């Protein structure tokens, strides 16, 4: 699961100046998944919003779609906080 987070962070923060935010984002989301009930569903919602970005390249969009599919298919297993 954690292997998908850097890809999603790049989608959230694609700019060259966003590199520090891109580094923080996966760690923050991983922590939320471990400690916050319902975090996986919130991440899925966030990924759905990110798919609507028009500035995504085809490659980034495909990687995001792969990550989103994984989270949707395995969401029921990701309620680590409970």
Rg of the chain over Cα atoms, rounded to whole angstroms, equals 12
| pLDDT at residue 80 in the model | 83
The total number of structural domains that make up the chain: 1
27 in any annotated domain = yes
pTM: 0.86
| pLDDT at residue 67 in the model | 95
Q: Which domain holds residue 10?
A: 2-77
82 in any annotated domain = no
51 in any annotated domain = yes
| pLDDT at residue 55 in the model | 87
49 in any annotated domain = yes
Q: What is the C-alpha to C-alpha distance for residues 3 and 36, in angstroms, rounded to an integer? A: 20
Structure tokens at 80: 């680590």
6 in any annotated domain = yes
| pLDDT at residue 45 in the model | 96
What's the pLDDT tens digit per position in 5-53? Answer: 988 998 988 877 788 998 899 999 999 999 999 999 999 999 999 999 9
14 in any annotated domain = yes
């Amino acid at each position: 699961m954690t292997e998908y987070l850097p890809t999603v962070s790049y989608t959230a923060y694609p700019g060259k100046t966003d590199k520090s935010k891109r580094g923080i984002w996966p760690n923050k989301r991983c922590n939320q998944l471990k400690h916050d009930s319902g975090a996986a569903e919130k991440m899925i919602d966030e990924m759905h919003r990110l798919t609507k970005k028009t500035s995504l390249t085809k490659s980034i969009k495909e990687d995001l779609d792969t990550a989103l599919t994984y989270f949707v298919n395995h969401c029921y297993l990701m309620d680590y906080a409970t």
